[in-house]
């Protein structure tokens, strides 16, 4: 058994911080939690003295692309460097991300299931992983990664993942089965274009026929998989919510239709806004990408503010990968800039994120019976959320009861 004592605890549920908290950890699990008066460490246990620090649950990113390193097509196909180099690069990102305080992460496309296996086996240090493998969309959609000259990667390239294009309801069912067979923990789809998609496939352009999306969602749910749906605005956004996907990714134009926010709150559909990626596209994107990102900015901010008012659960997702890795916590700064309190931003990156991933009972808060994924932070993130960025103030990381970083 281990004990962490003396820290101010933010437990991830949104409750007020607890001063001089004591957390007991046994067999990788949180055994007891309380103030020093309520919980005393038994004689002889290893005590981690965290006086003056902030104790939090490990952070969770619900939308990352750990295997992405550029928006260039050759890089997206994974053919611009040897496969071994790419794999070791990803392993390095996994390690780096864990060291910044992220103990769980959902990969929204690009990472194959072998990395989750490697982390679970302890081959490489990294956050707990849920992988989506790749987008599933109809021909011409986000999954159809054709080069500007019309080339497609030869079979077996594209990082060894299943090609994500399917058409028609039966095609969608078969593709979901193929993704699940290849190890997908979650099904990723897109009902609209985005900032980085081709000219002509914009944020409000719809990709799916309703019967196709219904079949995809139904098949995913039958196989116990949640559906995370990239949807920015227009009819594709409405269709995703009506058909019953489990989370809306980006959701930049939700503000234009408050009825959608009501439906999301009623059906517990999560909202993962992604501010970091649009800051990148607004400054470094293609000409049409820049214009799209600039145009959606104020809607995105308003959508998040309205989502909070309507009681939609917001989660922190970066869409990181194409331009950087290792600063997942920048999204928390963005959420606070968009109007969330620092406590709400922390909830978005802990308990709400865990619930969004279907891991509510295992992780996301500091409560007895949950896995011991814990971090210690120097300073008070409720005073300044940006201290979490790049893990600058993160001095201690525990995952599953095992210490991975201790630089106190
Ligand atoms: Zn993404």
Give the pLDDT confidence of 23-57 residue by residue, as tens digits.
999 999 999 999 999 999 999 999 999 999 999 99
Q: What values do phi and psi take at 43, rounded to 5?
A: -55, 140
Cα 144 to averaged position of ligand 1 atoms, centre (Å): 15
Average pLDDT over residues 378-395: 98
Q: Please give the distance, rounded to the nearest whole angstrom, from the Cα atom of residue 253 to the centre of ligand 1.
A: 17
**Average of pLDDT values for 364-389?**
98
Angle between helices 287-310 and 258-266 (to 10 degrees): 60
**Ligand 1 mean position, distance from CA 262 (Å):** 24
Q: Angle at CA 60, nearest 5°, toward 386 and 4?
A: 80
CA of 321 to the centre of ligand 1 (A): 9
Cα 133 to averaged position of ligand 1 atoms, centre (Å): 11
The beta-strand segments (E) located in 216-300 are 226-231, 247-250, 270-272
Specify the pLDDT at position 88: 97
In the sheet with 59-64, reading across from the earlier edge strand, the strands are: 59-64, 102-107, 128-131
Q: What percent of the chain has pLDDT over 90?
A: 83
State in Å: Cα 60 to ligand 1 middle: 15
Residue 90 near residue 78, CB atoms below 8 Å: no
Q: How many A from CA of 351 to the centre of ligand 1?
A: 21
Q: What is the CA radius of gyration of the chain?
A: 21
CA of 204 to the centre of ligand 1 (A): 17
> Pairing between strand 247-250 and 270-272?
parallel
Is 156's pLDDT higher than 80? no
Q: Higher-confidence residue: 250 or 83?
A: 250
85 CB contacts (<8 Å, ≥6 apart)?
Answer: none
Q: How far apart are CA 66 and CA 6, in angstroms?
A: 35
Q: Mean pLDDT across the chain, nearest whole number?
A: 94
Share of the chain above pLDDT 70, in %: 99
The pLDDT of residue 196: 78
Structural domains of the chain in order of their starting residue, each with its CATH number: 2-58+365-406 (2.30.40.10), 59-328 (3.20.20.140)
**65 C-alpha to ligand 1 centroid (Å):** 6
What is the Cα–Cα distance from 135 to 107, expressed in whole angstroms? 11
408/395 Cα distance (integer angstroms): 5
pLDDT at 206: 94
Give the Cα separation of 235 and 120 in Å (integer).
40
284 vs 330, higher pLDDT: 330
In contact, 301 and 90? CB cutoff 8 Å: no
- List, in order, residues 6 or more apart from 354 with CB less than 8 Å away: 60, 104, 360, 362, 363, 364, 365
Judge whether residue 153 has pLDDT over 80: no
Whole-angstrom distance, CA of residue 81 vs CA of residue 74 = 9
Taking only the tens place, the pLDDT of each residue in 54-107 is: 999 999 999 999 999 988 888 888 888 998 999 999 999 999 999 999 999 999
What pLDDT score does 289 carry? 83
Residue 147: per-residue pLDDT: 82
**pLDDT value of position 159:** 63
* pLDDT at position 311: 98
Do 57 and 350 form a contact (C-beta atoms < 8 A)? yes
Taking the centre of ligand 1 as the mean of its atom positions, its distance from the CA of residue 143, in whole angstroms, is 12
CA 319 / ligand 1 centre spacing (Å): 4
348 to each of 287, 314, 317, 320, 339, how far by Cα in Å?
32, 6, 9, 16, 13
Q: What number is the average pLDDT over the span 316-340? A: 95
pLDDT of residue 157: 56
Confidence band of 325 (pLDDT split at 50, 70, 90) = very high
> What is the bridge-based pairing of β-strands 247-250 and 186-190?
unpaired
pLDDT band, residue 280 (cuts 50/70/90): confident
Band the pLDDT of 152: cuts 50, 70, 90: confident
Q: For residue 269, give Cα distances in angstroms to 236, 245, 262, 323, 353.
A: 15, 7, 10, 28, 12
- Whether the pLDDT of residue 155 is over 80: the answer is no
What is 172-193 written as a DSSP string?
A: HHHHHHHHHHTT-SEEEEESB-
The Å distance, Cα 108 to ligand 1 centre, comes to 6
């Amino acid at each position: 058994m281990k004990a962490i004592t003396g820290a101010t605890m933010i437990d991830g549920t949104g409750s007020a911080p607890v001063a001089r908290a004591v957390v007991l950890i046994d067999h990788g699990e949180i055994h007891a939690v309380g103030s020093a008066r309520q919980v005393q460490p038994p004689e002889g246990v290893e005590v981690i003295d965290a006086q003056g620090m902030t104790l939090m649950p490990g952070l969770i990113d619900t939308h990352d692309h750990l295997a992405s390193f550029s928006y260039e097509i050759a890089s997206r196909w994974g053919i611009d460097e040897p496969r071994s180099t790419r794999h070791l690069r990803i392993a390095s990102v996994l390690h780096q991300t864990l060291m910044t305080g992220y103990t769980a992460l959902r990969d929204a496309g690009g990472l194959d299931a072998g990395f989750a296996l490697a982390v679970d086996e302890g081959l490489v240090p990294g956050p707990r992983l849920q992988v989506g493998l790749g987008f599933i969309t109809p021909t011409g959609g986000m999954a159809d990664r054709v080069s500007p000259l019309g080339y497609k990667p030869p079979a077996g390239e594209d990082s060894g993942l299943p090609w994500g294009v399917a058409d028609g309801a039966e095609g969608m069912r078969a593709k979901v089965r193929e993704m699940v067979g290849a190890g997908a923990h979650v099904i990723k789809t897109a009902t609209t274009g985005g900032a980085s998609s081709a000219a002509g496939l914009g944020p409000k352009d719809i990709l799916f026929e309703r019967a196709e999306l219904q079949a995809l969602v139904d098949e995913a749910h039958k196989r116990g998989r949640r559906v995370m749906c990239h949807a920015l605005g227009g009819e594709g956004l409405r269709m995703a919510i009506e058909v019953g996907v489990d989370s809306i990714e980006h959701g930049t134009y939700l503000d234009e239709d408050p009825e959608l926010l009501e439906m999301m709150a009623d059906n517990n559909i999560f909202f993962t806004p992604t501010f970091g990626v649009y800051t990148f596209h607004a400054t470094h994107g293609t000409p049409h990408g820049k214009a799209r990102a600039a145009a959606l900015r104020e809607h995105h901010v308003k959508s998040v503010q309205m989502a909070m008012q309507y009681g939609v659960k917001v989660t922190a997702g970066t869409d990181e990968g194409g331009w950087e890795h290792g600063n997942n916590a920048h999204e928390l700064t963005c959420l606070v800039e968009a109007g969330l309190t620092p406590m709400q931003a922390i909830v978005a990156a802990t308990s709400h994120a865990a619930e969004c991933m279907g891991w509510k009972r295992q992780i996301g808060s500091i409560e007895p019976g949950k896995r011991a994924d814990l971090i210690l932070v120097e300073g008070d993130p409720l005073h300044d959320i940006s201290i979490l960025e790049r893990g600058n103030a993160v001095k201690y990381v525990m995952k599953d009861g095992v210490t991975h970083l201790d630089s106190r």
